[in-house]
Amino acid sequence: MILLRHAGKVTLLLVITFSVSTLHVLAARVERKVDSWKPTHYNVEITLNEPLSELTTAKAEISVQILKNNVSIIDLDFGEMTVDSVKVEKQPVLFNHTSGRLEVRLARPLERGAQISIEVVYHGKPKDGLVMRNDKDGRPSVVGDNWPDRVHHWIPSLDHPSAKATVNFSITAPKRALVVANGKPGPVETTSETTRTWKFTEAHPIPPYCMIFAAGEFAKIPGDSTLTSLSYLVPKSDAVSAAKGFAPAAPSLKLFTQTIAPYPYEKLALIVGNTQFGGMENSGAIVFASDILNRSSNSPSSRTFGLSTGLVELVAHEIAHQWFGDSVTESTWADLWLSEGFATYFAGYFVQKTDGEAAFQNYMNSTGQTYLSYARQVRTPLHDTETSNLMRLLNPNNYQKGAWVLHMLRSELGDEAFFKGIRSYYNDYKNSVASSDDLRSALEKSSGQDLKPFFKAWVYGPGHPHYQMNWEWDESKRVVRVTIYQVQTEELFPNTIPLAISVSSGKQLFKIKPSTKQYAQEIPLAEKPSAVDFDPESSILKEVSNPKTPTKR
């Protein structure tokens, strides 16, 4: 997903500002664990009232697999809605609903491998997660908005990204409303003089924060459905602008399908509605902020699409999430960069392929500067096990630094090995969960390189390199001696460093791989150089200071 920093500007990420006094007040984060049981499938039936302001009735049937012996309670996450009844295998059972948990007491303890069905009937207005308010045109609407762990306010669930499951939705709504949800749509049934029932089947396991539906008086505009059923559901006032505003969608789908793997879901709906994010990547049903198609922007225009670059990047970012974040999901919140860093980088890759190399370099430079500004205040590992407020994980570490980690791996390994490894990583973990080490292993196999030092520094350690360089010409030996210092407080960053050495015939390119924080190397040359340029194509996320002038000798 993407948050917006300024109300009047599309931008690829928020920067959350922390007060200096709270920077180091961190403790180990406690996450919801999938240990004694896990959901495998949800059947969710909801009837909305006429003004779309509450759930008149709701029923969630949850298929549960038992993971260890002697399980006597299923502890569902559930918000403050009224629970009317709970059944296990169609038999009423005792339950306790308090403090965001619905504890279902089983008639007898179950052993590992057992499978049961739990039915929860409930009603009311969710406190969060399901946004029930007017759309931008003033018409009633309902939109799911669950990230990071807010789906439990309206669906009893195990609300952690690793608890992936398939889901069916059956939504009964007033006839004036159109409904969309995850999955393949079924026939729409007229269930009364004033209502219709819409059904959707998502056959691929998705993280709970992606399980949504939306209902409202949308205009539905078909998109290019060459690769999958693509449509735009927008407030009626956006009907004219939707096709142009979402023009990057079909090319994004095509590029990511060609680069990674086939699109993973049954359809793709791009929805404009109420969300606290600029874009939220719900599987097959992406929701964008209400004013996304007509927000004024100071960002330059894409030469390919004639739209602001911010909007192009936003659409590509959310579509990239369908592969990374939705299909391959981070196994813990500590690996959120496997979702947000990937989406940020592949949005840049889309810019590279559509608007060219200069636009891509501008994109990467902008993301790098955003991270470096953030790192002057907050210096934590990319693999963050401590930040307890999950919204604060939506920061330039997970987005921009995560994107740069992928960019540097691409530079280190080369395109062939890098994209081969990315495809292998995706295919190994699609419809499942993955960790940073899983990504490392896939890239090691594709490249034949040991990437443990790289991941230790860039993923599991904080910060970035701060370089200083000195060079001198030794006339007697006909060598240029280059000394590179890493002056950051963190340990060595093991990146290969490109150098461009200027001589009378032009620039000669060399690569140095420092093994210590102060590292010197002699490079033979036929003549005295006039300049040595450090990382001339900006392939490393870094600071550079105090370049020293050559010493005569």
- pLDDT over 50 (residue 412): yes
For 355-409, how does the pLDDT look when each residue is reduced to its tens digit (9 = 90+)? Answer: 999 999 999 999 999 999 999 999 999 999 999 999 999 999 999 999 999 999 9
Number of Cβ within 10 Å of residue 371's Cβ equals 22
Instruction: Give the angle 27-29-32 at the CA atoms, nearest 5°.
Output: 160
Which one has a higher pLDDT value, 24 or 133? 133
Residue 27 — pLDDT band, cuts 50, 70, 90? low
Structure tokens given for 188: 């729409």
Number of Cβ within 10 Å of residue 297's Cβ equals 16
What integer pLDDT is reported at residue 26 of this predicted model?
52
DSSP reduced 3-state for 426: helix
For residue 29, the one-letter residue type is: R
Structure tokens given for 23: 């920077």
CA gap 443, 438 in Å, rounded? 9
What integer pLDDT is reported at residue 468 of this predicted model?
97
Structure tokens given for 241: 């602008």
Report strand pairing: 466-474 vs 506-512: unpaired
**What are the distances in angstroms from CA 351 to CA 316, 343, 347?**
9, 12, 6
Residue 296 — pLDDT band, cuts 50, 70, 90? confident
Which residues neighbour 456 within 8 Å (Cβ) at sequence distance 6 or greater? none
The CB-side HSE value for 136 (13 A sphere, CA atoms) comes to 21
Q: Are 7 and 131 in contact (CB under 8 A)?
A: no
For the chain, the C-alpha Rg in angstroms (whole number) is 26
Structure tokens given for 137: 């045109």
CA gap 413, 415 in Å, rounded? 7
> Averaged over 13-26, what is the pLDDT?
40
What integer pLDDT is reported at residue 167 of this predicted model?
98
What is the 3-class SS of 35-57, one letter each residue? CCEEEEEEEEEEEECCCCCCEEE
> Averaged over 469-494, what is the pLDDT?
96
The candidate with the shortest Cα–Cα distance to 200, out of 212, 183, 178, is 183
CA gap 179, 141 in Å, rounded? 10
The CB-side HSE value for 138 (13 A sphere, CA atoms) comes to 0
- pLDDT over 70 (residue 139): yes
Token pair 């939707």 in the structure block, residue: 242
**What are the distances in angstroms from CA 40 to CA 66, 168, 535?**
10, 12, 49
What integer pLDDT is reported at residue 441 of this predicted model?
98
**What b/e readout covers 111-148, taking b as 16+ CB neighbours within 10 angstroms?**
eeeeebebbbbbbbebeebbbbeebbeebbbbbbbbbb
Instruction: Give the angle 245-251-255 at the CA atoms, nearest 5°.
Output: 145
The candidate with the shortest Cα–Cα distance to 351, out of 2, 6, 3, 12, is 12
The candidate with the shortest Cα–Cα distance to 497, out of 515, 480, 524, 474, is 515
The candidate with the shortest Cα–Cα distance to 330, out of 281, 365, 376, 262, is 281
Q: Phi, psi (5° rounding) for residue 65? A: -110, 130
CA gap 293, 426 in Å, rounded? 31
The candidate with the shortest Cα–Cα distance to 280, out of 331, 239, 315, 330, is 315
- pLDDT over 80 (residue 488): yes
Q: Are 330 and 338 in contact (CB under 8 A)?
A: yes
Residue 4 — pLDDT band, cuts 50, 70, 90? low
Report strand pairing: 543-544 vs 466-474: parallel
The pLDDT > 70 percentage for the chain reads: 94
For 234-279, how does the pLDDT look when each residue is reduced to its tens digit (9 = 90+)? Answer: 999 999 999 999 999 999 999 999 999 999 999 999 999 999 999 9
- pLDDT over 80 (residue 552): no
- What torsion do the CA atoms of 401, 404, 406, 408 make, to the nearest 10 degrees? -130
What integer pLDDT is reported at residue 547 of this predicted model?
60
**What are the distances in angstroms from CA 416 to CA 45, 70, 247, 427, 447?**
47, 50, 29, 17, 9
Q: Are 76 and 46 in contact (CB under 8 A)?
A: no
Structure tokens given for 322: 């369908």
Sequence-ordered strand ranges (E) for 33-175: 37-48, 55-66, 71-77, 82-88, 91-92, 95-98, 101-110, 115-124, 130-132, 141-144, 165-174
CA gap 34, 137 in Å, rounded? 42
**What b/e readout covers 485-516, taking b as 16+ CB neighbours within 10 angstroms?**
bbebeeebbbbebbbbbeeeeeeeeeebebee
Residues facing 61 on adjacent strands: 43, 119
The model's pTM:
0.95
In angstroms, how far is the first alpha carbon of the chain from the final one?
56
Number of Cβ within 10 Å of residue 215's Cβ equals 26
What integer pLDDT is reported at residue 295 of this predicted model?
81
Structure tokens given for 84: 């009317």
